[in-house]
């Protein structure tokens, strides 16, 4: 997901409001091996990777830990690769930023020539 600067700031503020934080590492791909059967049924090793946008936009997002466990629970997610702006818990922050941007544009258009 691509963000306008005001949308990214709104997302970050909402993550921080919920107890999360911007992480200090860039989004880089992770590599792993996966065994899958080929057409003959033999297991074949495939090297795969996750996405990695390269931006400094990874965030630690808190979530409710399962019952019976103690301590805080966080997941590291990338705002771009994991499409955080479309997560239900963050969607409203992005929407507010878009609405504010649209109102600001409309306000600028309504000004008479020569107004500052």
At 57-89, the pLDDT tens digits run: 999 999 877 787 777 788 889 999 999 999 999
Please say whether the beta carbons of 71 and 36 come within 8 A.
Answer: no
Q: What pLDDT was estimated at residue 114?
A: 66
Give me the mean pLDDT over the 25-29 stretch.
Answer: 88
Q: Where along the chain do its domains lie?
A: 5-108
Q: What pLDDT was estimated at residue 72?
A: 72
């Amino acid at each position: 997901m691509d963000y306008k600067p005001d949308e990214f700031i709104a997302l970050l503020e909402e993550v921080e409001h919920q107890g999360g934080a911007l992480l200090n590492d860039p989004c880089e791909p992770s590599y792993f091996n996966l065994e899958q059967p080929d057409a003959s049924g033999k297991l074949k090793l495939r090297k795969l990777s996750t996405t990695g946008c390269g931006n400094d936009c990874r965030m630690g997002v808190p979530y409710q830990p399962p019952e019976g466990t103690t301590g805080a629970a966080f997941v590291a997610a990338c705002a771009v690769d994991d499409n955080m702006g479309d997560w239900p818990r963050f969607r409203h922050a992005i929407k507010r930023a878009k609405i504010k941007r649209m109102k600001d544009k409309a306000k600028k258009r309504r000004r008479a020539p020569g107004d500052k």
